[in-house]
Amino acid sequence: MNIQDMILTLQRHWSQQGCILMQAYDVEKGAGTMSPYTFLRAIGPEPWNVAYVEPSRRPADGRYGENPNRLYQHHQFQVIMKPSPDNIQELYLESLKALGIDPLKHDIRFVEDNWENPSLGCAGLGWEVWLDGMEITQFTYFQQVGGLECKPVSVEITYGIERLASYIQDKENVFDLEWTNGFTVKDIFYQPEYEHSKYTFETSDPDMLFGLFNIYEKEAHRQMENGLVHPAYDYVLKCSHTFNILDARGSISVTERTGYLARVRNLARKVAKTFYEEREKLGFPILNKKEDVNHD
Partner 1 sequence: MTNRDVLIEIGLEEMPARFVTSSMNQLAEKIEAWLHERQIEFSGITAFSTPRRLAVSIKGTAQFQKDVNEEAKGPAKKIALDQEGNWSKAAMGFARGQGVTVEDLFFKELNGVEYVYVNKFIKGQEVRNLLPELKDLITSLTFPKNMRWADEDLRFVRPIKWLMALYGEEIIPFSIAGVQTGNETRGHRFLGESSVIQTAGEYEAKLKSQKVIADPAERKQMILSQIKQIEKDQNWTIPVDEELLEEVNNLVEYPTALFGTFEEEFLELPEEVLVTSMKEHQRYFPVKNKEGKLLPFFVTVRNGNDEHLDIVARGNEKVLRARLADAAFFYNEDKKTSIEDSLKKLESIVYHEELGTLAEKVTRVRKLTSLIAETWGLNAEEQKLADRAAEISKFDLVTHMVYEFPELQGHMGEKYALLKGEDARVAAAINEHYMPRNAEDSVPSSSIGSIVSLAEKLDTITACFSIGIIPTGSQDPYALRRQASGIVSILAENNTDVRLEELLESALSIIEEEKLAKDSVENIKKELLTFFKARVKHLLNERKVRYDLIDAVLENEIGSVSSLVERAEVLEAKRSSEGFKETVEALSRVMNISSKAEIDVAIDENLFENSYESGLNKKYMSILDEYASVKSEEERYEVLASLQPEIEEYFEHTMVMADDETIRNNRLALLSAVTKAIRQFAEWNKIITA
List of residues contacting partner 1 (CB under 8 A): 67-69, 83-86, 89, 93, 103-112, 114, 125, 127, 131-134, 141, 143, 150-153, 155, 167, 170, 172, 253-255
In angstroms, give the least distance from the CB of 25 to partner 1. Answer: 26
Q: Which of 209, 290, 213, 216 is nearest to 259 (CA)?
A: 213
| Closer of 69 and 180 to partner 1 (Cβ) | 69
Distance, in Å, from the CA atom of 24 to the CA atom of 12, rounded to the nearest integer, reads 16
Task: List all residues 6 or more positions away from 80 whose beta carbon is below 8 Å from its beta carbon.
Answer: 37, 38, 41, 42, 48, 49, 50, 51, 154, 155, 156
Residue 113, Ramachandran bin (φ over 0: left; ψ between -120 and 50: alpha; else beta) = beta
Could you give the 3-state DSSP secondary structure of residue 116?
strand
Q: With respect to partner 1, which residue has the nearer C-beta, 141 or 190?
A: 141
Beta-carbon contacts of 86 under 8 Å, excluding residues fewer than 6 positions away, are none
Helix or strand (DSSP H, E) at 280: helix 254-281
Q: How far is the CB of 104 from partner 1 (least distance, A)?
A: 6
Q: How far is CA 241 from CA 43, 122, 189, in A?
A: 22, 17, 20
Would you say 106 or 269 has its CB closer to partner 1? 106
Minimum gap (Å) between residue 134 Cβ and partner 1: 4
Please say which residue, 149 or 205, places its beta carbon nearer to partner 1.
Answer: 149
Cβ closer to partner 1: 125 or 228? 125
The least distance separating partner 1 from the CB of residue 70, rounded to whole angstroms, comes to 9
Task: Judge whether 37 and 25 are in contact, CB under 8 Å.
Answer: yes
- Phi and psi dihedrals of 31, rounded to 5? -160, 155
Please state the closest distance from residue 265 (CB atom) to partner 1, in A.
18
Alpha-carbon torsion angle 91, 96, 98, 100, nearest 10: -160
Query: Which residue number, 110 or 199, has a Cβ lying nearer to partner 1?
Result: 110
Query: 114 vs 35, 123, 126, 235, CA distance in Å?
Result: 20, 8, 6, 28
CB atoms within 10 A of CB 73: 16
CB of 124 to partner 1, least distance (A): 8
Task: Choose between 131 and 232: whose C-beta lies nearer to partner 1.
Answer: 131
Distances (CA, A) of 80 to 14, 28, 36, 90, 138: 10, 20, 12, 15, 12
39 or 92: CB nearest partner 1 = 92
Report in angstroms how near the CB of residue 296 gets to partner 1 at its nearest: 27
CB of 101 to partner 1, least distance (A): 10
